[in-house]
Structure 1
Amino acid sequence: MIGFIGGSGIYDSLPLEDTHEEHVETPFGEPSAPVTIGSMPDGTEVAFLPRHGRDHQHSPTTAPYRANIHALKQLGVERVLASNAVGSLREDLPPRTLVVPDQIFDRTRKREYTFFDEGCVVHMPFAEPYCPHMKSHLAESAREASEAEVVEDGTYVCIEGPQYSTKAESEHFRASGFDVIGMTAIPEAKLAREAELCYATVTGITDYDVWKDDAEVTLQEVLDNAAANEAFIKATVQHAIEAMPDARECDCGHAVEGAVNTPAEAIPADVRETVDLLVGDYLDD
């Protein structure tokens, strides 16, 4: 099964057949919405989850990222495609461009970043925050299936939100060489790595942030351009799913190996039960 986490503007699934909803309970609470499960025309099973909920009731800070990722893991998902609405920090990246980033810079400060915050400590390597094979596959799918301009690679700076940037912040991020700015890459990418899921995202540019003299970010502008990007993103994700290689071609499925720093015998029973799906194979006494 392949997972798809839809960002702002994408609240319903791809054109799936024989759909049903799964109400998944996780050790980290309920996900943002019931998970829609259905099949692509070629028979590939897909699990769809809107990050902010069906009615966009979860903010970028309060979205239940841990429950979302854990729910997909519980359902048997191994590879996750995602989408994000972002602002542009470059003149040559106008609204309605798709960017498939390869790096993240974290400027958030109020989120639950890990499944392993007490009782079981896992030091997860995160130098390459997106699965490189999935990232390349998603970018190629965007070029082949959408009518948008597509840019592969770039750095996504993730801010707290839900407020947009100040001009000083926007200029600082531009001077740092970042490419796009958004609010939801973190902790989703970190949690996907901890869950040993392949993970990559396609971002749809909705605005020029606030650095540009003739641009001012408004909700209406973001919504209008997100709606225009929706068709590009869905076409991209659908193509990526249909053309997905049968086997995983990376090491994401073994990401936790060697990263657990707490001896198995020192992990409390209740904590072990909570993290068993994620690290149980590495905790054999």
Structure 2
Amino acid sequence: MRTEAEMMELILNFAKNDQRVRVVGMEGSRTNINAPKDRFQDYDISYLVTDLESFKKDDVWLDYFGERIIMQKPEAMSLFPPQLGNWFSYLMLFTDGNRIDLKLIPLDELNLYLSSDKLLTVLLDKDGRVHTPPIPTDRDYHVKRPTPEFFDDSCNEFWWVSTYVAKGLCRNEILYAAEHLNLYVRPNLLRMLAWKVGLDTGFSLSVGKSYKYLDKYLSIDLWDRLLVTYRNSSCEEMWQALFACQELFRETAGYVAQMLGYTYPDYDGKVTTYLKKLFEDRTQ
């Protein structure tokens, strides 16, 4: 596997030798001093270029970076609606295990790029266009203190969609139940746990994309109870996962509400009674 030094040299040498590339930036975990370092970190690179369309004519120039296992070009795919405006990206996984997520950005959108992400550093500026180089910080990714409205909405969504999970389980529609548990119920539990971490740490840190660092800030007991909610291979397991979600949500949301001076909704009890009745009646 090529080292970080070798990869950075490769990335910068291409830019130095191609007159169309005028500025090179890097974003993501490699600019974040608080992110754990490992061999799976992507190289999130942006080339600000004078002629973006000339790059898009073919992919031969990408061979410079190494032999690829697979590549994705999201802005050229029908499956995904374009989200980057005039920007164009190449997501590349190489045979040595390195990965480069390379964005091409029109040079006249430099200011937009510099303001697009706080975790950004400029690696190369051929023309001195960047007068005040940004200092990377992950503060935009810190857990944010919820407003009373946002807290209440999260509680409402959690308990409302819990009834959809139960309905699916009563019908033995396990895929329907799993989708609602995984896409709506558990994400609100994870959000509530992140707010607890925020309260416990003064809202001074990030729990990472997809809550991937959450285990570092929860007690062993809370973490083990969260993992129980991922046992979803049968309707019986999913019932237990749903009840585990509810118990953990109730405890965590109650803590968050108390610490922030918010009101925890009373419909928790009514929904819980309703779901337990469905569970008890499921074989009748």
- TM more than 0.5: no
Of structures 1 and 2, the larger Rg is shown by 2
The structure where helix makes up a greater share of residues is 2
Task: Name which structure has the greater RCO, CA cutoff 8 Å, separation 6+.
Answer: 1
Calculate the TM-score normalised by the size of structure 1.
Answer: 0.26
